[in-house]
Amino acid sequence: MKIAFREIEGASGGYWLLLAALGVLAVAGLAGAWYMEHHGHVVTGMTNQIVWGMPHVFAVFLIVAASGALNIASIASVFGKAPYKRLAPLAGLLALALLAGGLMVLVLDLGRADRLVVAMTHFNFKSIFAWNIFLYTGFFVIVAAYLWTMMERRMNRYATGVGFAAFVWRLVLTTGTGSIFGFLVARAAYDSAVLAPMFIALSFSYGLAAFLLVLVAAYACTGRPLGSALLVRLKNLLVVFVAAALYFVAVYHLTNLYLAKQTGVERFVLLDGGIYPALFWGGQVVAGSLVPVALLAHPRLGATRGAIVAAAALVVLGGIAQMYVTIIGAQAWPLELFPGMGEASSFFDGRINGYAPSLPEVALGVAGMAVAGIMVALSVKFLRFLPERLDVGEPA
């Protein structure tokens, strides 16, 4: 069936109000970045012990979700599922937007953003961070080429090959992101090979949840038809992805509990760590996994758009809670400088490190999401990313 793609009109008051709201959030984030840069990170909740704060939580979430958002396009081109072909351009656009938003937050949070050119021209290939520069830039290039093959008629014959390259690259990119933490042997909560496949599973659920929210919002606001059968396919896929992510999270923690040296940090994250167990069990496991699966798997409620949107939103919020526990909780646990040996000093020996996010940090993190939203909103207005209707030829 021929698929007709059209730009949205984007002339309504609601559209301009959305752009204005996203613009305010983006400017607030830039103001927060300037404030932290001007006064130093002493104005944030970060310290010498917790050097990755709330902006990193949002940045890593957006980067992981960007990889997963492309999964819809991969299902169409790599696995030959025709019903998803009409969604592939929007998936590619969302992937680029989420990655751009995440990298913006990452660069502005690290400090001395003016020296980014140094990081991009001088590489230490023993560092996973150097590898990720190539992974991120390569993702932009390959996904842009993928969109070209999908949206330019004379290039359509190359879409499958480029789509396969994009699929492999996104797996490598997410593996690299997970390995940033898995290779950090100094932190007891990291140093695990399970983190790489776990991040791949997380990307599937985060990316699809973000894609569902954008898809439903775009068609609801423009008045274009969106078929229920297609939404049911996507929500069933989300159930599988969320369950798979929860499985890998369970394997990761069970693996650590099996190791005697990890018992302390696991007890801290799962039971005794205050905010971290609350976010893990309440945010990640219950609100971000079990409740969405229950909503989507319900025979009647799971077929309603309200339940699908609510479940996708909960997966996103649960993902942010999970990144908070993963990134900040691991730094809160004291470093073990000499494993198997005793040492004493007056510098935070065995002390749990405290952290409270500051307003500029939160503003910068939210700005990454706002920038991604602005990119999507402007792109669908000027380019043909959205099909005119998604209720024709619905899969059974």
The full set of domain ranges for the chain reads 5-336+351-387
> Using 50, 70 and 90 to split pLDDT, how confident is the model at 342?
low
pLDDT of 284 over the 70 cut: yes
CB proximity list for 120: less than 8 A, separation 6 or greater: 133
Query: What would the pLDDT profile of 74-98 be if each residue is shown by its tens digit?
Result: 888 888 787 788 899 999 999 999 9
Of 126-135, 161-170, 209-218, 266-275, the poorest mean pLDDT is in 126-135
**What pLDDT is attached to residue 277?**
92
Q: Which residue has the higher pLDDT, 347 or 203?
A: 203
> Using 50, 70 and 90 to split pLDDT, how confident is the model at 223?
confident
> Using 50, 70 and 90 to split pLDDT, how confident is the model at 273?
confident
Task: Output the average pLDDT for the chain.
Answer: 87
HSE-CB for 55 with a 13 A CA cutoff: 29
Contact 206, 315 (CB under 8 A): yes
Helices (H), the chain: 13-39, 54-69, 71-77, 88-110, 116-119, 128-151, 159-182, 195-222, 228-258, 263-267, 275-277, 291-297, 305-324, 330-332, 359-382
**What pLDDT is attached to residue 81?**
81
pLDDT of 395 over the 50 cut: no
**What pLDDT is attached to residue 396?**
39
**What pLDDT is attached to residue 199?**
92
Q: Is 289 left (phi over 0), alpha (psi -120 to 50) or beta?
A: alpha
pLDDT above 90 covers a percentage of the chain that reads 48
pLDDT above 70 covers a percentage of the chain that reads 93
**What pLDDT is attached to residue 3?**
73
pTM of the full structure? 0.91
> Using 50, 70 and 90 to split pLDDT, how confident is the model at 215?
very high
Contact 138, 85 (CB under 8 A): no
**What pLDDT is attached to residue 265?**
84
- Name which of 143, 110, 98 is nearest 370 in CA terms: 98
Across 114-128, 178-192, 267-281, the highest mean pLDDT is recorded for: 267-281
CATH 1.20.1630.10 fits 5-336+351-387, yes or no: yes
288 phi, psi to nearest 5 deg = -90, -10
